[in-house]
Amino acid sequence: MKGEKIMAKYDIAIIGGGPGGYVAAIRAAQLGAKVCVVEKDEVLGGTCLNRGCIPTKAILHSAKMHRNLISAAKFGISASGISLDYRKVISRKDQIVNRLTNGIKFLFKTNAIEIIKGKAKIVSSGAIGITDGSQQSEVEAGNIIIATGSEPMKLSDISTDGEIIQTSKEILSCDNLPESILIIGAGAIGCEFADIFNSLGVKVRLVEMMDHILPEEDDEIASKLESIFKKRGIEVFTQTKVNKVEKRDSSSNVYLSGDKTFEVDRVLVAVGRSSNISEIGLEKNQIKLDKNKISVNEYMQTNIPHIYAIGDITPGPMLAHVASKEGTVAVEHIMGMNSKMDYKVVPSCVYTDPEVAGVGLTEQKAKETHEIKIGRFPLMASGKAMCIEEIEGLIKIIADKDTDEILGVRMIAPHATELIAECVLAMKTECTYTELAETIHAHPTISEAVMEAAADIDNMAISLPKKP
């Protein structure tokens, strides 16, 4: 590029400072590499920290506190004068995000990682061009890691306006509550927002074109959450398509299949995410794609030497913790270590109340390749669940009929996103379900339900009546 400034050469240059990119950068620095991160946003953290995982969890906690205060009487507590200031909810969310983004910036400083502001484009396997406004420069690097993440997917026939028809990106910046909302898409994002708005007193309608909400989840677990949602007043429409959204002055008319029509104050489009792979130099450098994702091997290498790709732009699960692990694997391979990605035991989490979590195969997937046996433990039989008034839940363990190998664990329970870590470790270390059942769990805890579900496979759960 004419007139550009040639910057210092780095061992590793990373495009994108999200949970894949910033973790990769820190790991690279730990291993002695000279590292830079090119980030087009003003702050680090990517979608997860700024417009996704962290903001939604902060708001979800406020929403749960609001619902618990309203129902405090069942705990023998009289609460009156309860009011909601949604602007303060959003302000608290922003404070948490700012603290964490500043934390990453501090970690970069202590690890001597350089942050370069601008939009990156791969020039070659050893160079990245950077544009920041009218300024252009070039970074030379022995290795490049692409970590450009994803954006909320939009429906081609429904244009977002940032005010009435929104994606998860816009809705997190909105500091006022609508009276009613219709959510298109009942995956993890759609279900979490349905929980938030319902808990804060908004009339919620949740629309999903597949057979049940959380289409990738175990049927039994998803049906349980759907039942809970309906009890709370959320209208759920499955096997339903949105035919048209007609914007009015301050609301929208939404036309669903089956001749259903609703006027709502806000529409949230939550139909998934699309990878950010355009205009970053893939075609020019002949980097191979796999269905609009960057093709990589088990070391996260592309087909071009010294160029790696991680996170939502690759075929693996679009999860922040997967991106972080992929970043670590890529860096360690660059630095001469024999690290490989293993997607067999990736936990998935949905932060509704109760939470949904899983690892390994669902019952439906397991049946396709194995003879299986199943253990279940309903939380209505858990002493701890009774104490905290959260008995609507289930732990389910799927095992191979012949080898006793744990094939999958699915759960809907309070703190399920924490409980699943035990099951991830059990599967990672190839623990059998009998070994899990024999492991002493503290009493009273929700975690006992994991032990009891494992024991139930052999009809040996202590807290369940014996089956015929």
Beta-bridged to residue 131, according to DSSP, are: 119, 136
**Catalytic residue of the set 61, 66, 321, 443:** 443
State the alpha helices, DSSP H only, in 131-278: 168-171, 188-199, 219-231
Look up the pTM and report it: 0.94
Phi, psi values for residue 357, rounded to 5°: -150, 155
Q: What angle do CA 449, 392, 56 make, to 5 degrees?
A: 95
Mean pLDDT by groups of 10 residues along the chain of 468 residues: 62 97 98 97 93 96 96 92 95 97 97 96 94 92 97 84 86 94 97 98 97 97 98 97 91 94 96 95 94 96 96 96 98 96 96 98 97 98 97 97 97 98 97 98 98 98 92
C-alpha atoms less than 13 angstroms from C-alpha of 64 in its C-beta half-sphere: 15
Domains 5-151+275-334 and 348-456 equal at CATH topology level? no
**Rounded distance, CA 72 to CA 67, Å?**
9
Assigned CATH for 348-456: 3.30.390.30
Q: How far apart are CA 444 and CA 379, in angstroms?
A: 12
Look at the domain 5-151+275-334 and name its fold: FAD/NAD(P)-binding domain (3.50.50)
Beta bridge partners of 141: 10
pLDDT of residue 7: 60
Domain ranges of the chain: 5-151+275-334, 165-271, 348-456
Position 4 scores a pLDDT of 52
CA-CA distance, 285 to 121, in Å (whole number)? 10
| CB-CB contact of 289 with 304 (8 Å) | no
Indicate left, alpha or beta for 254 from its phi (over 0: left) and psi (-120 to 50: alpha).
beta
Amino acid 5: pLDDT: 55
Q: What angle (nearest 5°) sits at the alpha carbon of residue 7, between those of residues 282 and 128? A: 0
117 three-class SS: strand
Fold of 165-271: FAD/NAD(P)-binding domain (3.50.50)
Q: For position 372, what pLDDT does the model report?
A: 98
Respond yes or no: is residue 443 known to be catalytic.
yes
3-state SS, 416-434, equals HHHHHHHHHHHHHCCCEHH
